[in-house]
Structure formats: C-alpha cells, structure tokens
Structure 1
C-alpha cells in the first residue's frame, strides 16, 4: 500500500485530522436555534410522557443548560483519556493509538446523527462524550510527534500552523453547521458527513505510516546531545546546569538557569542502567541514539508531572483560557442572534470570521516570535522552554 514517506506529508495528514476534530466542535454552537428547537421538542415530549410540568415551566433555562452541556460534554471523555493515551504512546505505536481513538470518534459522529432520528438527548450526549474520547488519542500524540520530527529551526512554526486548526477548524465548523442546518439534510448530516470524511484518514494512519515514524515514544531516535551536555547513563541522567558560554553567546543568568533546571525532570526522558542508550549505525554514531524508556506505572508518571511547578502553572493558565473561550464559543452566535444583530446563518459566519482572524494571526505570530528568539540556539530544548515561558 502507498506509504506517506515524508515528515511533511504526515504533517499535512495530522493537520487535516485536527481540522475535522475542531469542525466537529463548532457544529452545535454554529446552529443554536436548530439545536435549541431539538432540545425543546425532546424535553416537551418527555414532560408529556411523564405527566410532569417541570420541563415546561422554565423551558428557556432547561434548553440553555442542555445546550451548554452538549457543547462541553466532550471534555468528560477528553480529559480522562488524554492521560491514558499519552501514557500508552510511550510503549505502543502512536499512529495505531490515533487510529483506534479516531474509530471511536467516527462511531460517536454516527451516534450524534442518530439522536435526531430517535429523538434522544441522552444518545446525543453519549455521542459528544465519546467524541472527546476519540479526539484525546490524537491530541495527546500529534503535537509531540511534530515536536520530535519537525525541522529544529521551524519547529515552533510547524506547531503554530498545526494549532491554527483550532481556530480555523472551529470557525469552519460554524459555517459548516449553518450550511447543513438550513438545508433539507438538517444538522444530523453534519455529523454523518464528517464521520465519513474521517474514515480514509483513519485508514492512512493504520496502513500508510512508515515504521520509522511509528515508533513508541519510549523508543524514539533522537539527536545526540551537543558536546556541551554530558549525559551519564547510570541510575539517572546527569542534567546540565547552565548553557554553553562563549564570546558570542553569554552564559545564562542564575535565575534563567534555575528555571530551566527545575523543568528538566519533567520534559526529559528517563534513562536507567537497565535501559542503556543504544547508538545507531557507525555513520550516524555522532548524531543519533535510540532512547529506550523503562516501563513505569501510570500513577508514578502522573505524580512526577504534578511535582513540576512549571507544568502546574501552565495547566492552570490553560484551564482558565479554555474556560473563557469555550463559554464565548458556545453562546457567541446565540448572543449575536438574541441581540437582533444577525440571522442564524449570518451570525455563524460573522463569529467564525472573528475567530479565524484573531486566532490564526495570534497563533502564527506566537510561533514565529519563538523561532526568532531561539534562532541562535535552535537545538537547545531547555532554552526554547525558557523563552516560551517568558513569551
């Protein structure tokens, strides 16, 4: 079968999958009136069947609560299984894990579409949760693959382009959803169609990725450290405490060095005497080595990560960012419609355009600035982490 032989081609594949993931996230908020109508009809039918009045006395509250729940339900599966897939990627082939998760994602899309036929909010909710499970396999693995294989001088730019899929995909989801919601096919076919579009990408992950790009994270071929770094394979890695100093590149300050040193235990792979670094062929002996990570239990891995102050600060900052942006993304089009500024289809387009312009420009500028700041030391991962934290 045809192989995807270059890193650039695999990068395009990952960007396409990322786009579809985020298009899915824009479907429900992109057609708020259609989904509010569906929620109202199901709640009304359930209240009549149960001879209850609670669902009809405050319909607006119930509908809004369900709409917010459906938009954010993917987090339930995503947050739990991201940890699991990130751990499994150390010991199993990453593209096999991605394909397995995306199969769950495709099933979730069809469940979401079927929810309209059977008039079931619970089925739609289950589909949204499963979509998070499927997406987690991809989002936990793809960024690290890009970081490992992108050209060092353009690594952050590649990641910036990849993360543009968040804004472009979500905005496209608003357009995509409004297009289906106002057609004779209606919103279920928005889910069916993207499920079908994902199938060939899943098959490519299974059959078209060369083995050299599909190694477990604990068995990756990595660049040998530069002469300035002295790595001793004993019970642990001897970590550097300062940057190389020469006449053109002054040494890092003690504050910078301390911040960098404090993060290494979390970002560097562990080596022990039972898992030696195995050199590659003689022609590559000075540039490549095979790092084999020993198997460590999941709870130990989690505890090691949680002990990193830098990781915890970044995680909490990211959580605050997602909390704010997700709320605006869920109800932004509804606000534009409710204020009488736009009709449903126009509101989705305007809100999507705002996301594309602001998100794409900001993401690309961030990546370009970081690459520019690290231009003098493109292979120095510790310096890149430090500059990213400052930026």
Structure 2
C-alpha cells in the first residue's frame, strides 16, 4: 500500500515558520494604513505571522501580533476623550490635532529601533485615528445635501476597504524597492499637508456646538464660559480679578467636564434607538471580525484553497467597496429616515446571512466563492445606514460621543472577543465547517436586533435645538482659532 504524504499545514498556521524569500511586505499596509473604525479595523485578513520588520527586530509571533493591534489601545481610550473635548474645543481643530499626532506617530514607526518603540508609536497612531472616528462623520452629515446624506457617508466608509486594497499594493512595492521604513515615512509626508490644514485653516463649526457660550463667537474656545459662569462674569465682560481667584468661574473644571461627560453618557444610553442600533452592530461586528481572522484558515481546511488569505481578502475588499457605497445610495432612494434605515439593516443582514450560511454548506469551491461574495456584498451594505442612525437618533451635540461609544462598543464586545471565542468553539468540535456555520448564524441575531428597531418610536434629532447650538451664520463667520488675538477685553453678549 502506497504511503500517503502528510497533509501540508494551513497557510495561515501561526505556528509555522515562513520562508525568508516569501513576499514579506503584504501586512505593511495594514500597519501603516489609517483606519476609521465604524467598520472593523481588520477588514482584510492580515498575515500577522510575518511582517517586513520581523526579521530586523527578531520578533516572536506574539510581539508581531501586538504591533498589528496596538493601535486599538489608543483608539479605544482616546475616542471618548476627543468626543468630550469637542464640547469645549472646536471639533475641526481636534481633527487637526489628531492628524498631527497620527503623522508624528507614523513617522516614529519608521524611526523605531526596537519592539517597544514601534508598539508605542502604534498606540499613538490609534490616538490620532480617534479624532476622525468621533468627529469626521458629523462634519460630513452637516455638509452633505439632505437627499444624499447616507450616500456621502457610504463614500466615506467605502474609503476604508479601498484604502486597505491600495495599501497592500503600496506596502509591497515600497518594501520591495526601498525599505519597510520608507512605507511609514512616505505616508507621514503625504498626511502632513492635511494636518497643517486642520490646524491653520479657518475652522468649520459643527452643528449643535457653540464654543462661546454667547451669541458671538470668541477667538478661542479657551475664553468661552459656561452659561452659569457667564451670568456671574460681570454681566458679559471677562471675569474680574476677584472672580478669577477661584480659577473656575469661566473655565469648566475637570470635575464639571467629567460630570457633563457622565450626564451625556446617561442620555445616550437611555436612547432606545441608539442602544438597539449598537447592539445589532456589535453582533454584526462579532462575525465580520472573526471572518477576517479565521476565514483563510477555515477556507483552507474546508476547501483546501491555495492562497486562502488572498481569496478571502479579495472578496472582502471588492464587496466592502461596492456594498458600502450601494447601501448608502439605496437608503437615500428609499427616503432616509431612522425607521427606513432599520428596515434596510435588517433585510440586508438577513439576506446576507442566508447567502453566507448557504456558502459554507456547499462543498464546491466555486459555488462557495459566488455565494459568499453575494453575502458579503449584502452585509457590507449596512455601513452607511448604521452610522446614519447613530448620527440622527441623538441631538447634534451628542453626535461625536455617539460615534465614539459606538466604535468602542463594537470593538470591545464585537471583533476583539470573537476571534478567541471562535477558536474555543473550534477546539471543542474540531470541525471548521460547523464552526463557520455557527459563527455565520450570529448574523441572523444581528438582523433580528435591527428588526426590533423598526417598531421603536424614533425621532430624527438632527434639527433639534441644543443648549450649545450655533447658528449657520455663526458657523460661517467664526474666525480661525489661531488668528492673532486682540489685547482688548472681549465682551460676551448674554441673553437676558
């Protein structure tokens, strides 16, 4: 009897040792690319078992994985902070600060000489990304035409899979022809003009925010006074020397800021529409995150794919781009309302779950690819609508916090725990097809949660008055924060 050859190890086996001559730059883009994680940061299967700098730093598998995901620490910690700061600092300036931090951190990655330095820089990359997560979508929502708001959001989130696709090619080319460090440096140079513009150009005002506490905008948010403080500040003038002794008359104390933050958090979590929307998003992200991590290995073991990572990655990129854009366009055509958004979310996710579930039931590879592609096209159509709900179910001044806490929630309760939990299930049943079917079935839960949202009483609060509201005229005429300050006393007009 002829002796059978042992089955080769899966392509994505983290315990396998890669060959030195393998193309080692494919994960470079995943580590340099900027991610706005209302979509999972690991959209594309990332070959974390080998990176371009691994040989230079003699990294272990664990260290390599830490570098890839270290940005998540800064991202999750800084997102609520940027959202809270937007109450007292111009949000457009905060985006400029975030881009500056991101640019310096990316340049620092290229200058790193050891594991700890590059891991620290990666954390600060996440801090820079946090400003975009909280503040970019509200700015788009403000400036998009009423009939095209979701389409604009769809285009914005479509840039994530598109950027990842370009990044993989970019990382490979730069790494092959120059050096892995140049991939970071070039990207920092490309981002620098945007950081400068964010800091120095005339800032836009975000709807629902007036960083003056008055009718007329001041030159700096630092001179703004809370309403209760303004009433005690010499009837509109800056505080006298006596008032300034306390140091808290016109500048909100840290305690007041913290109190305001928890008050906003309470309002946010008492909004049933928001809670249902985020719960569905968590279940959705749980599946997508596990797909990105375990998909190639499951595909290899079930269908004996060659280049399983590229197959799953290619499907995810193409479907992510087309599906995200299509979802926004469809919602605009259906009349953009919160109830309609929930209908699209539940139907698209339910149909996508059916196709993805059916894909893993077939043994033929080509049937699997076709069905799985249709399924992912449908499930990625949720990106525009789900963020539309996050922006419109709360009053304008809460939109940054809404986006920040949505991002924190979908990562902490979604894609972060999903990969190890799926690993536990696979260890128990030792059958990749069954494991994939169990994972995919969670999409039906996400669809069911969003289906509940259809029947909730929902109010579009985009035009709702806020205590911090700023008029359109003020938003257009407010001077840049970095404009030369006048030495004359600044008067604040107060409504009687």
TM-score normalised by length of structure 1: 0.58
Change (3 A) 1:141 1:37: closer
Q: Which structure 2 residue ranges, 5 or more long, are not aligned? A: 1-31, 212-226, 231-255, 345-496
Change (3 A) 1:152 1:77: same
Change (3 A) 1:41 1:124: closer
Q: 1:194 Cα shift?
A: 0.8
Change (3 A) 1:194 1:37: closer
Distance 1:356 1:99 in 2: 29
> What is the aligned counterpart of 1:357 among 307, 318, 338?
318
Q: 1:355 Cα shift?
A: 3.0
- 2:34 corresponds to which residue? 21
Q: 1:41 Cα shift?
A: 5.0
Is residue 149 from structure 1 mapped to residue 148 from structure 2 by the alignment? no
The within-5 A match list for 1:174-185 is 174-183=168-177, 185=178
The within-5 A match list for 1:1-391 is 21-22=34-35, 32=48, 34-35=50-51, 38=54, 41-43=57-59, 62-63=60-61, 65-115=62-112, 118=113, 120-183=114-177, 185-209=178-202, 211=203, 213-215=204-206, 217-219=208-210, 297-329=260-292, 341-342=306-307, 353-374=314-335, 384-391=337-344
Residues 49 and 64 of structure 2 are in contact (CA less than 8 Å); yes or no, is this contact kept in structure 1? Answer: no
Residues 48 and 68 of structure 2 are in contact (CA less than 8 Å); yes or no, is this contact kept in structure 1? Answer: no
Residues 53 and 180 of structure 2 are in contact (CA less than 8 Å); yes or no, is this contact kept in structure 1? Answer: no
Distance 1:352 1:321 in 2: 18
Q: 1:21 Cα shift?
A: 1.7
Between Structure 1 and Structure 2, how many residues are aligned?
A: 267
Distance 2:172 2:275 in 1: 38
Change (3 A) 1:151 1:68: same
Residues 102 and 202 of structure 1 are in contact (CA less than 8 Å); yes or no, is this contact kept in structure 2? Answer: yes
Distance 1:89 1:385 in 2: 25
Residues 44 and 292 of structure 2 are in contact (CA less than 8 Å); yes or no, is this contact kept in structure 1? Answer: no
Q: 1:328 Cα shift?
A: 4.4
Q: 1:319 Cα shift?
A: 3.3
With 310-319 and 185-194 compared, the bigger mean Cα shift is at: 310-319
Distance 2:73 2:45 in 1: 18
Q: 1:203 Cα shift?
A: 1.3
Residues 35 and 129 of structure 2 are in contact (CA less than 8 Å); yes or no, is this contact kept in structure 1? Answer: no
Cα RMSD after superposing both structures: 3.7
Change (3 A) 1:26 1:301: closer
Q: Secondary structure, in 3 states, of the residue corresponding to 2:179?
A: coil
Q: Secondary structure, in 3 states, of the residue corresponding to 1:35?
A: coil
Distance 2:295 2:102 in 1: 26
CA displacement 1:138-161 (0-9 Å, x = unmatched)? 121010111112100011111111
Distance 1:340 1:135 in 2: 35
CA displacement 1:9-49 (0-9 Å, x = unmatched)? xxxxxxxxxx9624996899766565276169534xxxxxx
Distance 1:27 1:180 in 2: 22
